[in-house]
């Protein structure tokens, strides 16, 4: 998800200490956590979290989406159970992330897996998955270091955001859009072929319908399950019967050249 513009002429220095080479890998992510972490800290402060608890939640839950959700649901006074249930469904996607990393972590001790799972999240997953897939020398140890760097930057930004929130009066509607923008960014990073765009549209419509019917965020979960199943069946069927179908064509990730027509269709 955090694929930056390729930096082709970067030759790694063999004598570079490990902490620095992993930090270099993690740095783009760390920097992008600063504005989002600040926004999240501000929102949590507005929801009544004190600074200490903001730090704690950033370390223990360590998920932008989940923390924004907590802040939003607290400001509309949702009951504890419904917040936790919503969090559960939101965090369920990590089952996917961690199962897709598992081939690379075979043979690691349970203690390592425990530590790895605690600080796993969407963005450091994206970096580590890419590194595992492309870099033979990338092991669990390096991956865990990247996770810890991102955790550090995230928690510190949240705490500073919380302090800013207590010092200044800020328009929350605007800050809340940081989360929407983050999700939009992650959608765009997920678009791999035309079929994915179709699934986006299906999921968007389903989400609206399901939420209107259930009158709760449970509709999100139902629509996610249905839309992902539709995607799964469509892809399996297409692969089997029409392997050359243009719906499976890969969309090349652009530099700054390609037209943005394809990406616009998933704006809603």
Partner 1 sequence: MSAVNTWNSTQHFWLIILGFCVAFVPRYLPLMLFTKRAIPEWFNEWMKFVPVSLFTALVVKDIFIDSATYQIIFTHFSEMIAAVIVVVIAYRTRSMAISVITGLIAVFLLSMFIA
Contact 204, 268 (CB under 8 A): yes
Burial category of 198 from C-beta neighbours within 10 Å (exposed 0-12, middle 13-18, buried 19 and up): middle
- In angstroms, the CA 162 to CA 42 distance is 5
If binding is defined by CB under 8 A, does position 107 make contact with partner 1? yes
Q: Does 87 bind partner 1 (CB under 8 A)?
A: yes
Minimum CB separation from partner 1 for residue 15, in Å? Answer: 30
Q: Which is nearer to partner 1, 87 or 151 (CB)?
A: 87
- Contact between 211 and partner 1 by CB under 8 A: the answer reads yes
66 binds partner 1, rule: CB under 8 A = yes
Q: What is the C-alpha separation between 218 and 207, in angstroms, rounded? A: 10
Nearer to partner 1 by Cβ, of 135 and 264: the residue is 264
Q: In this chain, which stretch among 7-15, 70-78, 127-135, 157-165 interacts with partner 1, using CB under 8 A?
A: 70-78
**CB 21 to partner 1: min, Å:** 21
From 15-23, 50-58, 130-138, 148-156, span contacting partner 1 (CB under 8 A): 50-58
| Binding status of residue 223 toward partner 1 by CB under 8 A | yes
Using rule CB under 8 A, residue 57 touches partner 1: yes
Question: Is 103 one of the binding residues for partner 1 (CB under 8 A)?
Answer: yes
List of E strands, 148-257:
none
Binding residue (CB under 8 A) for partner 1 from 43, 144, 156, 182: 182
**Spatial separation of the C-alpha atoms in residues 165 and 159, rounded to whole Å:** 10
Other CB atoms within 10 A of residue 74 CB? 17
Round to whole Å and give the CA distance between 158 and 150.
Answer: 12
CB 247 within 8 A of CB 238: yes
19 binds partner 1 (CB under 8 A): no
Show the 3-state SS of 64-93: HHHHHHHHHHHHCCCCHHHHHHHHHHHHCH
For 48, the token pair is: 């009544």
By rule CB under 8 A, what string of x and - marks binding of each residue 20-39 to partner 1? --------xx-xx-xxx--x
242 touches partner 1 by CB under 8 A:
no
Q: Cβ closer to partner 1: 14 or 95? A: 95
166 binds partner 1 (CB under 8 A): no
Question: 118 to 157, contacts with partner 1 by CB under 8 A?
Answer: 118, 120, 122-123
- For residue 258, give every residue at least 6 positions away whose Cβ sits within 8 Å of its Cβ, in sequence order, or none: 252
Number of residues in contact with partner 1 under rule CB under 8 A: 121
């Amino acid at each position: 998800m955090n694929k930056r513009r390729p930096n082709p002429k970067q030759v790694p220095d063999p004598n570079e200490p490990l902490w620095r080479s992993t930090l270099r890998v993690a740095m783009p992510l760390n920097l992008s956590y600063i504005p989002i972490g600040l926004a999240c800290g501000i929102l949590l402060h507005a929801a009544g979290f004190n600074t200490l608890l903001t730090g704690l939640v950033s370390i223990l839950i360590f998920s932008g989406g989940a923390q924004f959700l907590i802040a939003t649901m607290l400001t509309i006074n949702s009951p504890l159970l419904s917040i936790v249930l919503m969090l559960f469904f939101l965090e369920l996607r990590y089952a996917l992330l961690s199962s897709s990393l598992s081939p690379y972590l075979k043979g690691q001790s349970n203690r390592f897996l425990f530590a790895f799972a605690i600080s796993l999240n969407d963005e450091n997953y994206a970096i580590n998955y890419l590194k595992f897939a492309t870099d033979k020398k990338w092991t669990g140890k390096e991956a865990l270091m990247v996770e810890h760097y991102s955790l550090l930057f995230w928690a510190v930004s949240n705490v500073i955001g919380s302090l800013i929130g207590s010092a200044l009066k800020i328009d929350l509607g605007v800050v809340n859009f940081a989360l929407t923008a983050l999700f939009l960014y992650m959608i765009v990073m997920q678009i791999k072929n035309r079929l994915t765009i179709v699934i986006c549209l299906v999921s968007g419509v389903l989400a609206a319908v399901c939420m209107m019917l259930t009158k709760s965020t449970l509709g999100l979960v139902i629509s996610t399950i249905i839309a992902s199943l539709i995607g799964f069946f469509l892809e399996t069927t297409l692969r089997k019967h029409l392997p050359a179908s243009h719906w499976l064509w890969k969309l090349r990730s652009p530099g700054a050249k390609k037209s943005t027509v394809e990406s616009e269709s998933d704006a809603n």
